């Protein structure tokens, strides 16, 4: 655990050691956490399973986890810029595994800098803000109080900044992201779209994302919600590993959207 400067801002990062005993260079996976969350969430759920096979790295985006905030609003474009700067710091192309907001960021990075991304896994993500129904936030709720306690334990900004982070997040969700299916169609990186069958993102929206990606694959995990990585951790790791390791595009017996591959 350490801090580095990304685009001039001191940022908390976690990068697994190379491993001296390994003769072969392991592929690198960068975990991108969700909104109002931190890298701890992914490092504690799917992280251990992935670390057995990949070199894993993660960072807390500005205003999240152990990285301090700025006065600026939150924007997905800025988050994508942070991620690009982190990958450039690593000095090698990576696999991106992003949950929720992290999945949105992964799509944007794959779109803008395919040279930095080998494959991407987007979990419980949306490409347009209309794909998710956001309820009014209740700052007097027990959920907020519990989240605020977790926030103040990690954030350099302390307890008083917790409400501001929520307000900035809700403002962003009201108008972002604003990608179109034509934007997704420009992504030439293999992308696995994952979601729970009871996710906060509408299933029709998730399917339209998958159908728009030229090299897309789809995994709907039954009996799960937006928290599928915690609800079905081992299964999620298995699905992610299979996508990262298998040949792409896949060859199937009865191809429809991949008909040209099967001919």
- What pLDDT sits at residue 18? 84
Where residue 197 sits, what CATH number does that domain have? 3.40.50.1820
* Total domain count, the chain: 1
Tokens of 232: 């079905």
- What pLDDT sits at residue 263? 46
Which spans in the chain are helix H?
39-44, 47-51, 76-90, 101-112, 142-154, 162-173, 181-184, 203-212, 228-231, 233-245, 259-262
Say which residue the tokens 């494959």 belong to. 119
Burial classification of residue 85, based on how many CB atoms lie within 10 Å of its CB (0-12 exposed, 13-18 middle, 19 or more buried) = middle
Residue-range definition of the domain harbouring residue 205: 2-262
How much is the pTM? Answer: 0.96
Q: Which residues of 173-209 are buried (b: 16+ CB within 10 A; e: fewer)?
A: beebbebeeebbeebebbbbbbbbeebbbeeebbeeb
Contact between residue 118 and residue 95 where contact means Cβ atoms under 8 Å apart: yes
- What pLDDT sits at residue 262? 43
Give the pLDDT confidence of 77-126 residue by residue, as tens digits.
999 999 999 999 999 999 999 999 999 999 999 999 999 999 999 999 99
Give CA separation, 263 vs 216, 218, 254, in Å.
19, 22, 10
Residue numbers of the chain with a pLDDT score lower than 70? 1, 20-23, 260-263
Q: Give SS3 for 88.
A: helix
Query: Quick one: which of 176, 161, 8 has its CA closest to 108?
Result: 176
């Amino acid at each position: 655990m350490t801090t580095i400067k990304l685009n001039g801002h001191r940022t908390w990062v976690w990068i697994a050691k190379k491993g001296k005993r390994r003769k072969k260079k392991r592929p690198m996976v960068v975990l991108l956490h969700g909104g109002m969350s931190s890298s701890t969430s992914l490092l504690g759920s799917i992280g251990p399973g992935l670390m057995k096979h990949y070199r894993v790295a993660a960072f807390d985006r500005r205003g999240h986890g152990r990285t301090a905030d700025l006065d600026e609003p939150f924007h997905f474009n800025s988050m994508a810029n942070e991620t690009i700067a982190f990958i450039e710091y690593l000095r090698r192309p990576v696999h991106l595994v992003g949950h929720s907001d992290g999945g949105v960021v992964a799509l944007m990075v794959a779109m803008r800098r395919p040279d930095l991304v080998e494959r991407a896994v987007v979990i419980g993500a949306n490409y347009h803000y209309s794909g998710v129904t956001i309820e009014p936030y209740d700052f007097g709720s027990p959920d907020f109080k519990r989240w605020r306690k977790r926030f103040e334990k990690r954030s350099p900004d302390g307890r008083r900044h917790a409400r501001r982070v929520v307000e900035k997040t809700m403002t962003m969700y009201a108008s972002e992201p604003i990608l179109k299916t034509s934007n997704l169609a420009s992504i030439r990186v293999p992308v696995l779209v994952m979601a729970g069958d009871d996710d906060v993102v509408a299933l029709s929206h998730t399917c339209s994302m998958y159908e728009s990606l030229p090299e897309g694959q789809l995994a709907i995990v039954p009996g799960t919600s937006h928290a599928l990585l915690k609800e079905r951790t081992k299964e999620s790791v298995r699905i992610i590993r299979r996508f990262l390791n298998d040949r792409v595009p896949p060859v199937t017996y009865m191809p429809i959207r991949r008909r040209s591959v099967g001919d």
